[in-house]
Amino acid sequence: MTLQLDQIEDRELSIRHGDLELLRYVYRPDNDQFESPRPYFEPIRDLAGQQVSLYRPHDHVWHKGIALSLPNCGPHNFWGGRTFRRGQGYVDEKNDGSMEHRSFTELESGDQGVKVAEELEWVTQDGDHFFSEKRAFAATVTGDDTWVLSFSTAVTNDTDQVVVMGSPTTEGRENAGYGGFFWRGPRSFTEGRVYTAAGTGGDEMMGVRGDWMGFHGKHDSNDAESTLVFTDHPENPGAPIKWFVRTTPFAAVCPAPFFDAELPMEPGRTVTLRHAVAVCNGDTGAEGAGKTAELAAAELARLG
């Protein structure tokens, strides 16, 4: 079935499958500066209509469904909240930048799904231009119970300084290498199951390397279940990537390119990140998650 793309008040894009809204892309957020305003995908639903994302949870108000979020960009924070610094812990440095929409260069929908291309500007909390970004994403229904969101971004250092990309772990906090294409799951997904090529588990999967990771959870108020399968790209920095994952005290997955290794971006350098997530009705199991990862990787390749 053809996906429908609607633009709402020059603020959001809505993608629908028949009468069901699969996701919204909020490209002009109205969040406080402390939350590092940036575009996000929220809500996100599986093809059975179950929501598989969470917006602005009280424990981490800067978590927004799925969003490109990077906490340690040289002196700046494009994640939100306080910044972790070696020997100091989390510090409110008033350094929360924003990713600001500038234009769409492509908005397409049809039998092959939806494709969007966008240009953005990264702006520091002081109002200075920092990075420029070109991103694209696509939504495709691949079966009766699965659809795929593909995402690609190319970020260019427009400053005259080397910007060191990192994470709280590169600043000294163990197993806190978050940053990148970050998903926050529903509360009911807490203590869900994590699937990888190496096996099934939970929080002990933090920092595992691999091309993909699945997360299975259950929904409150009914017997529904969903699985999300995330993929990395072999040309991303650090591939095969280390994964940031939590099942407790909340559900979260992030393919983290700077988990425990800094990446210096020289002036003018562009870093490209490409990921996909397959949203599946029910429990795929570990074997099914692996097959779904192959499908999602193929959709990501089509995005380019």
* pLDDT digit string, tens, across residues 181-239: 999 999 999 999 999 999 999 999 999 999 999 999 999 999 999 999 999 999 999 99
Mean pLDDT over all residues of the chain?
97
pLDDT above 70 coverage of the chain, percent:
100
3-303 fold = Beta-galactosidase; Chain A, domain 5 (2.70.98)
Q: Where are the domains of the chain?
A: 3-303
Residue 168: pLDDT above 90? yes
Q: Using one digit for the tens of pLDDT, what is the confidence trace for 231-271? A: 999 999 999 999 999 999 999 999 999 999 999 999 999 99
Percent over 90 (pLDDT), the chain? 98
For the cut 70, the answer to whether the pLDDT of residue 1 exceeds it is no
Q: What is the pLDDT of residue 114?
A: 98
Band (pLDDT 50/70/90 cuts) for residue 36 is: very high
Nearest to 15 by CA among 39, 38, 47: 47
Residue range 87-138, pLDDT digits in tens: 999 999 999 999 999 999 999 998 889 999 999 999 999 999 999 999 999 9
Closest by Cα among 188, 174, 184, 207 to 277: 184
Residue 32: phi, psi to the nearest 5?
-65, 155
What's the mean pLDDT in 67-71?
Answer: 98
Question: What's the whole-number mean pLDDT along residues 51-55?
Answer: 98
CA 249 – CA 59 distance, rounded (Å): 10
The bridge status of strand 146-157 relative to strand 129-141 is antiparallel
